[in-house]
């Protein structure tokens, strides 16, 4: 029976996922104070697979493979690959800073002290887009390299000296563009037309039915605050538009819970300036909900949120569903009076119980010391489902493609 190269290591994957969750709590949109992150992330992955809030620029989808492919060509062993990759990624920081385009350079402040390398940030995305063919996590890859080298040496060859089952031994997509000759001594975050076209093709091939794939074909860079504001929306499939409506409605309605949570914190301190600020913000949110009241009530009455394509198979904890349903009932149910939500005792009680359920004795509304460490804003942001990051990545790709078009026309 022939042997097969195994990439499976479930314990490592579980560990890495947990580390990713912990790290993400420091990010702007990932500050999940009320425990709705599983809903947020399910929508985000449905629309924009392979992305994350801590990615910065599209070019890293090429820079990381170039580093590792170079190290593989040098046959750097498993025992030294992690250190060698770190040195290369650190050198990359200086090369990118020297290019002049420093927006989104990962590690520009920390440099050698950078804790989370770009390879860790982009690894899952590289797999999702089919650029990385190795199905495991980065630490697994490091450990398995020696075995891969042995497999490649012993592989049967065709008459043309190509390995039989060569695709099974490739860690990187065969169409990956070649790195510039002077890489990584010099590097840029700007995409060439060839590089941009490659990333566009990878997105469209790996996730053809996603919103990300449709946006990758858009002819010009975009500048809007939320994905449902993009001019492409009317041309999306009905299925995508329906899920986008759910995502928009959820973002708008759950924002009020985040604002009320911060208002309760401001009152508990007490801090009159912050109380006034959050009362004003809630007033603006109430006006938004009232302006769409009929539409939102129909959405709530139909009860399709949990059955939409993005959430149907998602592992949403029952207590999260219960909290979301309770909040929506308070603001959109038969007896709802959203205008008085800031003083509604049932709404305040729901928020208090939810925080305590998530944090126990560390809950700010139950622990004075934790409350005093509050900095005035605890997750009071509208959910955009990674859109701010995704828009930058897409604009990089579109700009790269337009560079080729402009050059051809010139």
pLDDT tens column, 315-361: 999 999 999 999 999 999 998 989 999 999 999 999 999 999 999 99
Which pTM was predicted?
Answer: 0.88
Closest of 52, 51, 39, 46 to residue 251, by C-alpha: 39
- Confidence tier at 304 by pLDDT (50, 70, 90): very high
Same domain, 282 and 335: yes
Q: What is the pLDDT of residues 4-23, one digit of tens each?
A: 333 444 444 444 444 443 34
Total number of domains constituting the chain: 2
Same domain, 39 and 76: no
Would you tell me how many other CB atoms lie within 10 Å of the CB of residue 109? Answer: 9
Q: What is the pLDDT of residues 138-185, one digit of tens each?
A: 999 999 999 999 988 886 555 555 555 545 578 999 999 999 999 989
The residue from 136, 171, 190 where one domain ends is 190
Rounded Cα distance, 93 and 110, in Å = 10
pLDDT score recorded for residue 163: 54
Same domain, 209 and 238: yes
Would you tell me how many other CB atoms lie within 10 Å of the CB of residue 255? Answer: 19
pLDDT score recorded for residue 25: 35
Structural domain containing residue 137:
59-190
CB 241 within 8 A of CB 233: yes
Kindly state whether residue 357 falls inside one of the protein's structural domains.
yes
* Cα maximum dimension of the chain: 80
Same domain, 181 and 223: no
Q: What is the CA radius of gyration of the chain?
A: 24
- Confidence tier at 386 by pLDDT (50, 70, 90): very high
**114 Ramachandran zone, left/alpha/beta (phi>0; psi -120 to 50):** beta
Same domain, 40 and 169: no
pLDDT score recorded for residue 170: 86
pLDDT score recorded for residue 32: 87
Same domain, 144 and 258: no
Same domain, 200 and 186: no
The residue from 190, 212, 233 where one domain ends is 190
The residue from 142, 164, 190 where one domain ends is 190
Higher pLDDT, 1 or 227: 227
């Amino acid at each position: 029976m022939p042997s097969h190269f195994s990439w499976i290591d479930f314990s490592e994957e579980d560990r890495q996922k947990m580390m990713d969750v912990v790290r993400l709590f420091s990010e702007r949109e990932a500050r999940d104070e009320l425990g709705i992150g599983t809903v947020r992330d399910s929508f985000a992955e449905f629309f924009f697979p392979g992305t994350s809030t801590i990615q910065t620029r599209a070019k890293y989808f090429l820079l990381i493979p170039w580093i590792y492919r170079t190290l593989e060509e040098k046959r750097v062993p498993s025992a030294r690959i992690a250190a060698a990759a770190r040195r290369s990624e650190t050198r990359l920081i200086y090369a990118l800073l020297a290019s002049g385009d420093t927006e989104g350079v990962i590690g520009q402040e920390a440099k050698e002290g950078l804790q989370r390398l770009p390879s860790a940030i982009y690894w899952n995305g590289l797999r999702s887009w089919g650029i990385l063919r190795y199905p495991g996590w980065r630490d697994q890859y490091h450990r398995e390299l020696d075995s891969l080298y042995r497999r490649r040496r012993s592989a049967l060859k065709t008459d043309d000296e190509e390995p039989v089952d060569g695709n099974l031994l490739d860690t990187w997509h065969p169409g990956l563009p070649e790195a510039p000759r002077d890489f990584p001594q010099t590097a840029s975050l700007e995409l060439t037309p060839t590089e941009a076209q490659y990333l566009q093709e990878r997105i469209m091939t790996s996730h053809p039915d996603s919103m990300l794939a449709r946006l990758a074909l858009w002819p010009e860079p975009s500048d809007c605050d939320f994905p449902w504001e993009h001019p492409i929306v009317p041309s999306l499939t009905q299925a995508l538009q329906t899920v986008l409506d759910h995502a928009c409605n959820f973002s708008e309605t759950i924002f009020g819970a985040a604002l009320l949570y911060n208002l309760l914190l401001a009152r508990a301190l007490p801090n009159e300036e912050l109380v006034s600020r959050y009362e004003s913000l809630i007033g603006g949110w109430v006006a938004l909900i009232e302006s769409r009241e009929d539409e939102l009530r129909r959405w709530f009455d139909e009860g399709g949120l949990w059955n939409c394509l993005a959430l149907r198979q998602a592992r949403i904890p029952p207590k999260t569903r219960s909290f979301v349903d309770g909040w929506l009932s308070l603001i959109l149910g038969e007896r709802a009076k959203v205008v008085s939500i800031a003083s509604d005792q049932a709404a305040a009680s729901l928020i208090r119980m939810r925080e305590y359920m998530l944090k126990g004795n560390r809950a700010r509304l139950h622990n004075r010391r934790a409350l005093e460490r509050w900095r005035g804003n605890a997750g009071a942001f509208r959910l955009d489902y990674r859109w701010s990051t995704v828009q930058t990545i897409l604009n990089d790709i579109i700009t790269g493609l337009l560079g080729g078009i402009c050059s051809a026309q010139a």
